[in-house]
Amino acid sequence: MDEQYFRLFGTGPSEAAKLLAQALSKGGDYADIFCEHTVNNELSLRDGEVNSVRSDIDFGIGIRVVKGDRTGYAFSESTAFADLMKAASAAAEIARGTGPAVTLPADCTPVDFINRYPMLSDWEQHPIDSRKGYLLMLRDLISQADSRVVNITGRIGDQQTRILFFNSLGQCYTDMRPMALMSAVTVMQEGSRMENFYASKSYRKGFEFLSEQLVRELADEVVKGCSRLFEAGRPPCGEMPVVMGAGSSGILLHEAIGHSFEADFNRKGVSIFSDRMGKVICNREINIVDDATLPCYRGSVNVDDEGVPGQKTYMVRNGILNSYLHDRISARHYGVEPTGNGRRESFRYMPIPRMRSTYMENGTASEDDLIRSVKKGIYVDNFANGQVQIGAGDFTFYVKSGYMIEDGRLTRPIKDTNIIGNGPEALAAITGVADNLIVDDSTWTCGKGQYCPVSCGMPSVLVGKLNVGGINE
């Protein structure tokens, strides 16, 4: 525990004990206090110059009370004890009782966890202009790489979030959560035709995140990605085999099954996987995990937002649905241990089950094997966004670019197509998994009423049949 955080938030163990007592005064089963101080900075490149900066400070304390499956929540942006007691009283109302039902522990014990994202160089020690050179390098690399470039925008963002947490189980922790990102957009023109391409990198790192290598990778990705689009057209439409390239294809897992495995949906019986625990749901060689422990990854968390240490959770093991992703409420509902998936966007939100870094473990095939096995289909490797209907299981993801597969070979590039499928059917239709797992390092952000940074990854896989949005030929 870093006791400087007590001063920052004006709240230490003794104040927390009083607030928790107030929060549980109407009979709640459980309460927690989530104190957050976030500083966010962003520097932008536009029209060839670094000429815009933004900084935001967000500070507040959220108090939650749980009674069975019910949750009461309130927050205060003030550290005045009277304001915090008022928030605790508001949250307490959910229990609707007349007196406390649990006894608070006398002391709080720090949660034991491994720091998965130690900062080597604190962002706060580096003034804004120390980032400028990297944006100018990005500009030069992109503009020199291709004469068709007509516009470049770039962005470097850094965020440091300090968390102080107490709960009624006698647990507490402090955590410093860094987040860094760099992104680039280029627009190119060839004759009258224009194309654009976006790429980004993001890690939980300090200033050491920025490097010449990072900038070169980003510049290379946007230039090559945009160039390819000039050769690309719309694919034919309809159902066909889809080979999903390694890395960002993990969006398939995130949308097709990840959300459906979040235990709040299953607890309410509204997920298509609600009755499938312990059953075979795909090829027995498939293992799918949701992992908080990948060093410095965007989706990693040392300890979740309700005091559960970060961990690696097998959602699917040997093709069998092994575990949902739990917060404390769903874990109690199912009589299992929480899996450390209780996350929230900020102190303004109550925690709910959220993914972290979701990926499929390696299989035994090669990507070439998968492509060779397809007579007519598509290969996809760059995505913009995805979505799922939890109950129906219908998911989609938008393909920014890929290729046609014809007679086992990649042929013409394709772009701008939405792919739609059904989660259980798509999972069962995975007929090949390659041995080239990549966990993607782009700025993936998941929306579920509130936003959370996540990561996703996958080795190349072959899905036997998905609906490809294209043109009727």
Site for another protein contains 274 (CB under 8 A)? yes
Which residues in the 6-35 window bind another protein by CB under 8 A?
none
Minimum distance from CB of 189 to another protein (Å)? 8
3-state helix, strand, coil in the chain (%, to 5): 25, 40, 35
Could you tell me which stretch among 109-117, 173-181, 189-197, 296-304 binds another protein (CB under 8 A)? Answer: 189-197
DSSP labels for 439-465? E--S--EEESSSEEE-EEEE--EEEEE
First-to-final CA distance of the chain: 64
Could you tell me which stretch among 10-18, 66-74, 210-218, 427-435 binds another protein (CB under 8 A)? Answer: 66-74
Could you tell me which stretch among 21-29, 183-191, 292-300, 312-320 binds another protein (CB under 8 A)? Answer: 183-191
Which residues in the 390-419 window bind another protein by CB under 8 A?
390-398, 415-419
Amino acid at 417: T
Q: Which of 12, 27, 58, 217 binds another protein (CB under 8 A)?
A: 58
Site for another protein contains 93 (CB under 8 A)? yes
Tell me if 231 sits within 8 A of 412, measured CB to CB: yes
In the complex with another protein, which residue's Cβ is closer, 189 or 373?
Answer: 189
Could you tell me which stretch among 185-193, 215-223, 332-340, 437-445 binds another protein (CB under 8 A)? Answer: 185-193
Torsion of Cα atoms, 128 then 133 then 139 then 145, to 10° = -150
Measure the CA–CA gap between 73 and 9, rounded to whole angstroms.
19
Per-residue binding letters, 351-390, with another protein (x by CB under 8 A): ---------------------------------xxxx-xx
Q: Which of 54, 372, 375, 412 binds another protein (CB under 8 A)?
A: 54
Measure the CA–CA gap between 92 and 81, rounded to whole angstroms.
16
Site for another protein contains 82 (CB under 8 A)? no
For residue 273 the two structure tokens come to 């996987």
- Strand stretches in 47-148, DSSP E: 49-67, 70-76, 109-110
| Residue 30 neighbours by CB distance under 10 Å | 21
Site for another protein contains 450 (CB under 8 A)? no
Q: Which of 187, 277, 320, 410 binds another protein (CB under 8 A)?
A: 187
Minimum distance from CB of 83 to another protein (Å)? 10
Site for another protein contains 444 (CB under 8 A)? no
Measure the CA–CA gap between 455 and 260, rounded to whole angstroms.
17
Amino acid at 403: Y
Per-residue binding letters, 244-273, with another protein (x by CB under 8 A): -----------x------------xxxxxx
